[in-house]
Amino acid sequence: MNEAVKRRIFALVALAVAAGALGTIAFSDMGEDLVYYWSPTELLARDDAMNHTVRLGGQVEPGTIDWDKEAQTVSFSISDGSASVPVSCKGNPPQMFREGIGVVVEGELQPDGVFHTEKIMVKHSNEYKAPEGTETDPRKLYSTLDQG
């Protein structure tokens, strides 16, 4: 076989493998592995929301946090301003978790109307703000250390 024929055969085989891989991905059940992000209003409006893993985002409603340290669970409600969903989390939430903070929880809405999760993600600003009344100029901080 000459070199040009070998290259054409190689190109055809490579193209067939790529087409087969693309077809497998396109027609596989990848949709079952997707995790959707919904607000409480969207979650409650869906008829098919039960027993599907979703990410639910909103604000922790003030006065709804209930810690059960023995069972290591925390219950609270998430609101988007229009609707509210009760949430039950098994395990300890992040340290920044508190009332009024934005959160995203990943889990499932159960038939009892409670969203069950083991994963709480806290939204926070990416900007650092020093506590009020503290010195933030590094030159002044180091000069006070040298004197003491």
Q: What pLDDT does 32 receive?
A: 59
Q: What CATH number does residue 39 fall under?
A: 2.40.50.140
- Does the residue 62 lie in any domain? yes
Which pLDDT tens digit goes with each residue over 17-71? 999 888 887 777 665 566 788 889 998 888 888 878 889 999 999 999 998 888 8
What's CA 42's distance to the chain center, in Å?
Answer: 16
Alpha carbon of 35 to those of 30, 105, 116: distances in Å?
A: 11, 11, 15
Same domain, yes or no, for 111 and 96? yes
Other Cβ atoms closer than 10 A to 11 = 10
Which pLDDT tens digit goes with each residue over 65-94? 998 888 889 999 999 989 999 999 998 888
- Does the residue 136 lie in any domain? no
Residue numbers of the domain that contains 47: 35-122
List % helix, strand, coil for the chain (3-state, nearest 5). 30, 30, 40
Which pLDDT tens digit goes with each residue over 118-133? 888 887 666 666 666 6
- Does the residue 134 lie in any domain? no
